[in-house]
A and B are shown apart, each in its own frame.
Chain A
Amino acid sequence: MIETRGLCKVFHDKKRGAIRAVDNVSFVCKPGQIYGLLGANGAGKTTTLRMLATILEPTDGTAVVCGHDVVDEPHKVRANVGFLSAATALYPRLTSREMVEYFGRLNGLDEGTLKKRADEIFSRLDMNSFRDRRCDKLSTGMKQKTSIARTLVHDPQVMIFDEPTLGLDIMTARTIIDFIRECRQRGKTVIFSTHVMSEVEKLCDVVGIIESGKLLAEGSLGELRDHYSQYDLEEIFVSVVGPYQGSPEA
């Protein structure tokens, strides 16, 4: 379960002054549900998810992840979260197996559990053929599988995906989409950011539209269609975001 309460993040820039990247964002994401955070580049998606993963600290407000506050108990939050983004790269000089084991150890798994868990994940993701190959020698698809294995090794209850398919080819992106779906089937709480409408339509139970750091609309796809009297998600997005486009913080 994820619950954000008035989450804010202000960055300070020498030229632009204070920038409210995330402004009073509140939402709830339940187990067995995929929450899609939809927004244009610079809308505040990544900053929101980084705060949920405790990589960044909120300027104001807070969030509770698996019963732990992101400000007060960041270590416990991270122990319950699997974070995957286009920016979470792999260590090039480690093998796939070493990469997964490293994160297992950082999550405090004992060697026996770690080996069992790693073997299980490698078989499930069909990684045994390249598990001992260095990450810098892997194809993009293999790298993504290794990243997925890395996020799964400690069996987190919450999965955070920040534009996970960005820059990937269709087949590799499909692997990620299938994996996100599988997380929902396993009862995990999933939050997922994207600016690709088709991914939201395919995956999300609840959609939050974010622009200039503000959560402007929220609901299931059906609820949004009814509310904005539009069927096409892109049209809904434009209706919601349009008035805010070109604002100084956008």
Chain B
Amino acid sequence: MNLAAVAVVYRKELTEWLRDRRTLISTVLVPLLAFPILMVGITALATVMIGNAEKEIPKIMILGGEDSPQLLERLHKLDKLEVVPYAVNWKDQISNKDIRAAVEIPKGFQAALAEGRAQTVNIYFYQGELKSSFGADHLQKAVEEYRDSVIKDRLAAKNLPASVLTPFSIKQENVAPPEKVGGASVGGFIGYAVILLCLTGAMYPAIDLTAGEKERGTIETILSSPISRLDLVIGKFLLVFSASLASAILSVTSMGLSFAFLGHSHLMQSSGEPSLNLNLGFTSVVAVFCMALPLAVLFSAVLMTIALFAKTYKEAQSYLTPLTFLVVIPAVASVMPGVELTPKLALIPVLNTSLVCKEIITGTYHWNSIILIFASTCLYALAAIFLAVKMFQREDVLFRS
């Protein structure tokens, strides 16, 4: 291999790549802007929507309860609810969002309470509808408060303290360091994002440098030069690999900045406590990149090999789209709860890297698995590069008609 010739090809491909708006958008702009837009935008939108829903005083309907004035009076007194008169079509009114919820007080409820018989109060609402859920929650709270007052009166009547019902309390407390907590929450997602962006970042350059060359008619031009096919493939491959890495680095940086912004904003906080601790360790993030390196090599070589078969840009896109699913499925599988790294899974490309990234982000380093995964992915990557070089030497592939 002639490194000087490889460098000449790489430099030329880099110049062209930096001037191509299409690949720049997919490799630089999308990874850089996708996360801030998605995370900040969606969170802000959700906050506004929840805020609006909370401001509304839900209209509710009471079904029955004429013989239970105590509960009825409590419900009517609530500031957070507006009680509307009973109507037969109350179910339709909930479905049509005319009212948000309804509470059904059974016949003879108050009398049954006095006799100590158990009763059920039903609350009806529109599942999945935010404002209806708020209305139902307010109703639930009001009814529970009434129940608590009944219990308190009964205990008082028998001269028993309130603690008779709760002899002891139970509390769950986190002892894991914040990095691990944050990692466990978003670790799988980071690995998944890095893997997917390594693939998408490499996709357009891989097509442009292979099928794109064929479509533009420059393949014959370059093949008539003295450069060897090996040097040519390696030069092109290095550019695709660079694009893949650039895409992943930019996306994780952008993701980190978005998380940092959200961590310090009030968007994701309640009662002064962050709802999600995103304090990820720098070492973990660097380790994830190291694990993603051979995978990026594998993706770059495989994408180039497949795209080289195509005669046009569009044809190459149609070949590579199914490949995205092949990568997404194991990447998503690794995020699923309960999927743990085993020696067998450590040999399955994509899934193995995704799983080990999840562990690394939480600060867990199983060195045997890490070495096995890194080595096996390197082997797959080398095989893919070998295949790409072979493909570039096949006349029926280069001049397919």
Find the B residue at minimum CB distance from A107: B226
B72 to chain A, nearest CB (A): 77
Question: In the complex, A213→B215 CA distance in Å?
Answer: 27
The reply to whether A105 and B220 form a contact with Cβ atoms under 8 Å apart is no
A131 interface hit (Cβ, 8 Å):
no
Known interface pairs A94-B12, A94-B16, A102-B12. Does A55 touch B224 (Cβ–Cβ under 8 Å)? yes
B170 to chain A, nearest CB (A): 66
Shortest beta-carbon contacts, A-B, top 9: A89-B217, A83-B224, A78-B226, A88-B221, A93-B19, A79-B226, A106-B225, A93-B16, A105-B8
A172 interface hit (Cβ, 8 Å):
no
The reply to whether A103 and B225 form a contact with Cβ atoms under 8 Å apart is yes
B276 interface hit (Cβ, 8 Å):
no
Known interface pairs A91-B16, A93-B19. Does A106 touch B5 (Cβ–Cβ under 8 Å)? yes
A108 interface hit (Cβ, 8 Å):
yes
Choose one: B15, B220, B227; the contact of A106 (CB below 8 Å).
B227
Known interface pairs A79-B226, A106-B5, A106-B226. Does A94 touch B217 (Cβ–Cβ under 8 Å)? no
The reply to whether A75 and B217 form a contact with Cβ atoms under 8 Å apart is no
A98 interface hit (Cβ, 8 Å):
yes
The reply to whether A78 and B224 form a contact with Cβ atoms under 8 Å apart is yes
Question: In the complex, A134→B396 CA distance in Å?
Answer: 32
B74 to chain A, nearest CB (A): 74
B179 to chain A, nearest CB (A): 44
- Given A83-B220, A108-B226, 10 extra CB contacts under 8 A: A55-B223, A55-B224, A75-B226, A75-B228, A78-B225, A88-B221, A89-B217, A94-B16, A106-B225, A106-B227
CB under 8 Å from chain A, chain B span 218-245: 218, 220-221, 223-228
Q: 1/0 per residue B361-401: CB within 8 Å of A? A: 00000000000000000000000000000000001100100
Contacts of A85 in B (CB 8 A): 220
A68 to chain B, nearest CB (A): 11
Q: 1/0 per residue B1-29: CB within 8 Å of A? A: 00001001100100110011000000000
A90 interface hit (Cβ, 8 Å):
yes
By DSSP majority rule, is chain B's interface helix, strand, loop, or mixed?
helix
A71 interface hit (Cβ, 8 Å):
no
B76 interface hit (Cβ, 8 Å):
no
A interface residue numbers (CB < 8 A to B)? 11-12, 50, 53, 55-57, 75-76, 78-79, 81, 83, 85, 87-94, 98, 102-103, 105-108, 134, 150
Interface size of B by CB at 8 A reads 22
B interface residue numbers (CB < 8 A to A)? 5, 8-9, 12, 15-16, 19-20, 216-218, 220-221, 223-228, 395-396, 399
Known interface pairs A56-B395, A79-B226. Does A92 touch B216 (Cβ–Cβ under 8 Å)? yes
The reply to whether A55 and B220 form a contact with Cβ atoms under 8 Å apart is yes
Residue contacts A-B, CB under 8 angstroms, 14 given? A53-B224, A78-B224, A79-B226, A83-B220, A83-B224, A89-B216, A89-B217, A89-B218, A89-B221, A93-B16, A94-B12, A94-B15, A107-B226, A134-B19
Contacts of A53 in B (CB 8 A): 224
Contacts of B223 in A (CB 8 A): 55
B295 to chain A, nearest CB (A): 29
By DSSP majority rule, is chain A's interface helix, strand, loop, or mixed?
mixed
Question: In the complex, A106→B94 CA distance in Å?
Answer: 74
Count of A-B residue pairs with CB < 8 Å: 64
B397 to chain A, nearest CB (A): 13
Residue picked from B216, B226, B227, most chain A C-beta under 10 Å: B226
Known interface pairs A85-B220, A98-B15, A102-B8. Does A93 touch B20 (Cβ–Cβ under 8 Å)? yes
Find the A residue at minimum CB distance from B398: A55
Contacts of B15 in A (CB 8 A): 93-94, 98
Residue picked from A78, A102, A107, most chain B C-beta under 10 Å: A102
Question: In the complex, A163→B19 CA distance in Å?
Answer: 31
Known interface pairs A55-B224, A103-B225. Does A88 touch B20 (Cβ–Cβ under 8 Å)? no
Contacts of B217 in A (CB 8 A): 87-89
The reply to whether B220 and A87 form a contact with Cβ atoms under 8 Å apart is yes
Question: In the complex, A150→B12 CA distance in Å?
Answer: 15
The reply to whether A91 and B218 form a contact with Cβ atoms under 8 Å apart is yes
B230 to chain A, nearest CB (A): 11
Question: In the complex, A12→B16 CA distance in Å?
Answer: 35
Find the A residue at minimum CB distance from B12: A102
B156 to chain A, nearest CB (A): 85
Question: In the complex, A76→B225 CA distance in Å?
Answer: 10
The reply to whether A88 and B224 form a contact with Cβ atoms under 8 Å apart is yes
The reply to whether A88 and B16 form a contact with Cβ atoms under 8 Å apart is no
Contacts of A75 in B (CB 8 A): 226, 228
Question: In the complex, A102→B221 CA distance in Å?
Answer: 12
A96 to chain B, nearest CB (A): 14
A94 to chain B, nearest CB (A): 6
Question: In the complex, A117→B269 CA distance in Å?
Answer: 67
Question: In the complex, A55→B218 CA distance in Å?
Answer: 13
Contacts of A81 in B (CB 8 A): 224
Contacts of B396 in A (CB 8 A): 11-12
A121 to chain B, nearest CB (A): 16
Contacts of B224 in A (CB 8 A): 53, 55, 78, 81, 83, 88
Find the A residue at minimum CB distance from B222: A106
